[in-house]
Amino acid sequence: MKKLIFLVAGLLLAFQGYSANPVVPLNPTAEHVFAVAASMETFDADVLRTEMQGLSQGEMNRLIEMALADVMNAHKNGAITPPIGLFVLAVIFPPLAVGLYTNWGMPTLFNVLWCCLGYVPGIVHAVYILTR
């Protein structure tokens, strides 16, 4: 009887330890990607692009909606630093992120030109504008 109790207790502890570990979803979700972006100490566009690779079109749309909602909340609350939503948009569509941050000023035109030269220079310019 003691062996059975120890066996059941051991199984319960094993399942409890297993459920405490975070599970990485097989199909990434917009919430997962946004959480990864929010947990970065220093922004890394390559990591975020890697996380976004497995997103379906619907999840990509949800990610954009989440980023825009984050930007609008930060704007409404008068945030001084750029919200994480702008950095997510900088990876998806850099001119939109720069335009929202600079109120569609001249850096937006420069970012469009950088994006015409290549997608990565546009991302680098957008992150530079957001972090300066």
Query: What is the band of 20 on the pLDDT scale with cuts at 50, 70, 90?
Result: very low
Decide if 73 is inside a domain: yes
Decide if 36 is inside a domain: yes
Decide if 122 is inside a domain: yes
Q: What is the token pair recorded at 90?
A: 């900088």
Q: What is the largest CA-CA distance in the chain?
A: 78
Decide if 6 is inside a domain: no
Q: Domain total for the chain?
A: 1
Task: Please tell me the pTM assigned to this model.
Answer: 0.76
| CA pair distance 113, 124, nearest whole angstrom | 13
Residue 124 sits in which domain range? 28-131
- pLDDT tens by residue, 41-97: 988 999 999 999 989 999 999 999 999 999 999 999 999 899 999 999 999 999 999
| CA pair distance 28, 91, nearest whole angstrom | 17
- Between residues 114 and 5, which one has the greater pLDDT? 114
Among residues 95, 94, 73, the alpha carbon closest in space to that of 83 is found at 73
